[in-house]
Structure 1
Amino acid sequence: MRKALLSLGMLALASTPTLAQTTAPVACGGDLGTFLEGVKAEAIARGIPAEAANHALAGAAIDQKVLSRDRAQGVFKQTFMEFSKRTVSKSRLDIGAQKMREYAEVFARAEQEYGVPAPVITAFWAMETDFGAVQGDFNTRNALVTLAHDCRRPEMFRPQLLAAIEMVQHGDLDPAATNGAWAGEIGQVQMLPEDIIAYGVDGDGDGHVDLKKSAPDAILTAAKFIQSLGFKAGQPWIQEVTVPDRLPWEKTGLQSGMTAGDWFALGVTPRDGNTANSALEASLVLPQGHKGVAFLTYPNFNIYLEWNQSFIYTTSAAYFATRLAGAPPYRAGNPEPGLSDAEMKALQEKLQALGHDVGKIDGILGAGTRTALQKEQLKRGLPADGWATPAVMNAL
Structure 2
Amino acid sequence: MRRVLHVSGPCRCGLLAVALGLCLGFGPAAAQQGGGARPFEALKKRLVADGFAAEAVERIYARPEVFVEADGVARFFLHSEAKLNYDQFTTPESIARARAYLAAHAELLARTEEVFGVEREVITAILLVESRLGTVTGGRSALNILSTLGALTDPAFQEEFFRILPPERRISRERYLERVQKRAEWGYRELKALLRYAEREGIDPAAIPASYAGAVGFAQFMPTNILAYGEDGDGDGRVDLFDHADAVASIANYLRRHGWRPGGDRERREKAIYAYNPSSYYVNAILAVAERLRN
Q: TM-score, normalised by structure 1?
A: 0.53
Cα distance change of structure 1 residues 68 and 187 upon mapping to structure 2, 3 Å threshold = same
Please say if 1:198 is aligned against 2:228.
Answer: yes
Please say if 1:168 is aligned against 2:198.
Answer: yes
Q: Provide the residue aligned with 2:250 in structure 1.
A: 221
Cα distance change of structure 1 residues 156 and 94 upon mapping to structure 2, 3 Å threshold = same
Q: Provide the residue aligned with 2:288 in structure 1.
A: 319
Q: Provide the residue aligned with 2:89 in structure 1.
A: 87
Q: Provide the residue aligned with 1:130 in structure 2.
A: 132
Deviation at 1:185, TM superposition (A): 0.5
Question: How many angstroms apart in 1 are the aligned matches of 2:184 and 2:200?
Answer: 24
- Matches of residues 35-50 of structure 1 in structure 2 within 5 Å? 35-44=43-52
Deviation at 1:68, TM superposition (A): 1.8
1:171-209 deviation line (CA, Å, top 9, x unaligned)? 364223211101111000100111111111112222221
1:243-269 deviation line (CA, Å, top 9, x unaligned)? xxxxxxxxxxxxxxxxxxxxxxxxxxx
Contact residue 138 and residue 212 of structure 2 kept, 8 A: yes
Cα distance change of structure 1 residues 75 and 181 upon mapping to structure 2, 3 Å threshold = same
Deviation at 1:126, TM superposition (A): 0.3
Q: Provide the residue aligned with 2:165 in structure 1.
A: none
Contact residue 139 and residue 179 of structure 1 kept, 8 A: yes
Question: How many angstroms apart in 2 are the aligned matches of 1:218 and 1:92?
Answer: 20
Question: How many angstroms apart in 2 are the aligned matches of 1:58 and 1:205?
Answer: 35
Contact residue 147 and residue 183 of structure 1 kept, 8 A: no
Question: Residue type of the partner of 2:186?
Answer: M
Question: How many angstroms apart in 1 are the aligned matches of 2:41 and 2:275?
Answer: 35
Q: Provide the residue aligned with 2:42 in structure 1.
A: 34
Aligned length: 228
- Matches of residues 1-396 of structure 1 in structure 2 within 5 Å? 31-44=39-52, 53-54=57-58, 56-59=60-63, 60-72=66-78, 74=80, 83-151=85-153, 152=180, 153-171=183-201, 173-212=203-242, 214-237=243-266, 298-326=267-295
Deviation at 1:137, TM superposition (A): 0.6
Deviation at 1:51, TM superposition (A): 6.1
Cα distance change of structure 1 residues 77 and 35 upon mapping to structure 2, 3 Å threshold = closer
Contact residue 126 and residue 286 of structure 2 kept, 8 A: yes
Question: Residue type of the partner of 1:301?
Answer: E
Question: How many angstroms apart in 2 are the aligned matches of 1:123 and 1:204?
Answer: 21
In structure 1, runs of 5+ residues without a counterpart are: 1-29, 238-297, 327-396
Question: Residue type of the partner of 1:304?
Answer: I
Deviation at 1:117, TM superposition (A): 0.6
Residue 94 of structure 1 aligns to a residue whose secondary structure is helix
In structure 2, runs of 5+ residues without a counterpart are: 1-37, 154-179
Question: Residue type of the partner of 1:71?
Answer: F
Residue 176 of structure 1 aligns to a residue whose secondary structure is helix
Question: How many angstroms apart in 1 are the aligned matches of 2:127 and 2:292?
Answer: 14
Question: How many angstroms apart in 2 are the aligned matches of 1:207 and 1:51?
Answer: 28
Contact residue 148 and residue 157 of structure 1 kept, 8 A: yes
Larger radius of gyration: 1
Question: How many angstroms apart in 2 are the aligned matches of 1:230 and 1:95?
Answer: 28
Residue 158 of structure 1 aligns to a residue whose secondary structure is helix
Deviation at 1:170, TM superposition (A): 1.9
Cα distance change of structure 1 residues 121 and 190 upon mapping to structure 2, 3 Å threshold = same
Deviation at 1:154, TM superposition (A): 2.4
Q: Provide the residue aligned with 1:269 in structure 2.
A: none
Residue 216 of structure 1 aligns to a residue whose secondary structure is helix
Contact residue 89 and residue 95 of structure 2 kept, 8 A: no
Cα distance change of structure 1 residues 101 and 314 upon mapping to structure 2, 3 Å threshold = same
Question: Residue type of the partner of 1:138?
Answer: R
Question: How many angstroms apart in 1 are the aligned matches of 2:116 and 2:265?
Answer: 15
Deviation at 1:145, TM superposition (A): 0.4
Q: TM-score, normalised by structure 2?
A: 0.71
List structure 1 runs of 4+ shifted beyond 6 angstroms.
Answer: none
Question: How many angstroms apart in 1 are the aligned matches of 2:230 and 2:195?
Answer: 16
Question: Residue type of the partner of 1:42?
Answer: D
Residue 74 of structure 1 aligns to a residue whose secondary structure is coil
Contact residue 129 and residue 190 of structure 1 kept, 8 A: yes
Contact residue 123 and residue 251 of structure 2 kept, 8 A: yes
Cα distance change of structure 1 residues 57 and 164 upon mapping to structure 2, 3 Å threshold = farther
